[in-house]
């Protein structure tokens, strides 16, 4: 039989589920896990649960190249049905979903967020490229912006206006992933750069070669990515201390991937742009010891964290 609630107030089953989610997050989302350490224990476990839900679904999709597409589609649909049923019941005995359902109910996360996420995961089984930026944004609504929506209750914003910047940050993070992972996505038969942009610049990712056209394309995409980060920055002052530090840390670290891409002369085919572990620790330490981002003198929406004027961006 199950024991009663432990010191955390959770049943042993829930504690095991949250612990598994934590291990999944630490294994696959090192930057997010690093930033989440700045949150309190309850917030951290909710971050891990949301991350693990997304990761499990994403892993099912990524296995499409290793097994029959129909089997992958069925596995993804079954995962979605299982979650929907458990969410409606308010309880799950699934190793990962137990924590996810508990988090969703505790934080009152809109079930539509999970539905939209699963829709985008299904799109990955049918769509290999996106003709326009608008088409890509439709996909990213469920695969990226919605992650910001799900995380927002964890962060306890002081202003409802934080919703739009949270969505923007989710999009900015994923666009950074797309720019970093062009080579890896090609291996899966996918291109997440809008076809209209490739045509405009005359760039061909399939050639896996850094050409003047490729550099021009990447400069354009990185500039657009930074504009989205700047829009997301307006939400940081709407968060309390720990939450602001967490988001600031994740934002600074993730956006520095763009600098690594530039330093590699936009070669995203032969090596993966990474921020060293010691750099992550340094940024997290500065965030922990400093004042809450967005509240110090001279730091407003017009100055993005991670810009040269921001001490956390120093090399």
Residues contacting 8, CB < 8 A, separation 6+: 15, 41
**Could you state, in chain order, the average pLDDT of each consecutive group of 10 residues for the chain (315 residues)?**
60 96 91 85 96 95 77 95 98 97 97 97 95 98 97 94 97 97 94 98 97 98 98 95 91 92 96 72 58 44 35 30
Predicted pLDDT at 281: 62
The DSSP symbol for 302 reads T
CATH class of 127-290: mainly alpha
In whole angstroms, what is the distance from residue 257 CA to residue 261 CA? Answer: 6
What is the pLDDT, as a whole number, of residue 183? 95
Q: Is 53:96 a contact under the CB 8 Å cutoff? A: yes
Residue 220 burial (C-beta neighbours within 10 Å; 0-12, 13-18, 19+): middle
Looking at residue 309, its pLDDT comes to: 32
- Give the single-character DSSP code of 292: P
**Where in the chain do CATH 1.10.600.10 domains reside?**
9-126, 127-290
Q: pLDDT at position 313, please?
A: 33
pLDDT of residue 30: 79
What would be the CATH architecture of the domain defined by 9-126?
A: Orthogonal Bundle (1.10)
Q: How far apart are CA 315 and CA 43, in angstroms?
A: 30
Report pTM: 0.86
In our burial notation (b when 16+ CB lie closer than 10 A, e otherwise), range 176-194 reads: bbbbbbbeebeeeebbbbb
């Amino acid at each position: 039989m199950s024991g009663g609630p432990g010191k955390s107030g959770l049943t042993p089953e829930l504690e095991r589920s949250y612990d598994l989610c934590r291990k999944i997050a630490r294994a696959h989302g090192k930057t997010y896990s690093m930033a989440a350490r700045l949150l309190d224990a309850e917030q951290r476990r909710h971050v891990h649960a949301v991350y693990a839900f997304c990761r499990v679904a994403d892993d099912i999709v990524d296995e499409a190249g290793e097994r029959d597409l129909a089997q992958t589609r069925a596995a993804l649909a079954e995962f979605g049905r299982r979650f929907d049923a458990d969410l409606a019941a308010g309880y799950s005995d699934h190793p990962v979903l137990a924590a996810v359902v508990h988090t969703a109910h505790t934080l009152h996360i809109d079930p539509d967020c999970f539905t939209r996420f699963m829709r985008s995961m299904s799109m990955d089984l049918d769509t290999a490229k996106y003709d326009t930026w608008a088409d890509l944004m439709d996909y990213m609504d469920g695969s990226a912006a919605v992650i910001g929506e799900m995380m927002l209750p964890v962060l306890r914003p002081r202003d409802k206006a934080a919703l739009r910047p949270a969505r923007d940050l989710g999009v900015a993070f994923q666009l950074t992933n797309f720019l970093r992972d062009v080579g890896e996505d090609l291996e899966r038969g996918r291109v997440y750069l809008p076809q209209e942009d490739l045509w405009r610049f005359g760039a061909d990712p399939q050639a896996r070669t850094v050409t003047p056209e490729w550099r021009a394309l990447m400069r354009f995409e990185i500039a657009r990515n930074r504009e989205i980060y700047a829009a997301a920055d307006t939400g940081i002052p709407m968060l309390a201390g720990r939450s602001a530090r967490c988001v600031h840390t994740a934002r600074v670290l993730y956006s520095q991937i763009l600098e690594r891409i530039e330093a590699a002369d936009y070669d995203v085919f032969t090596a993966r742009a990474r921020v060293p572990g010691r750099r992550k620790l340094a940024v997290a330490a500065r965030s922990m010891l400093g004042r809450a981002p967005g509240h110090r003198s001279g730091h407003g929406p017009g100055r993005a964290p991670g810009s040269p004027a921001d001490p956390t961006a120093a090399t």
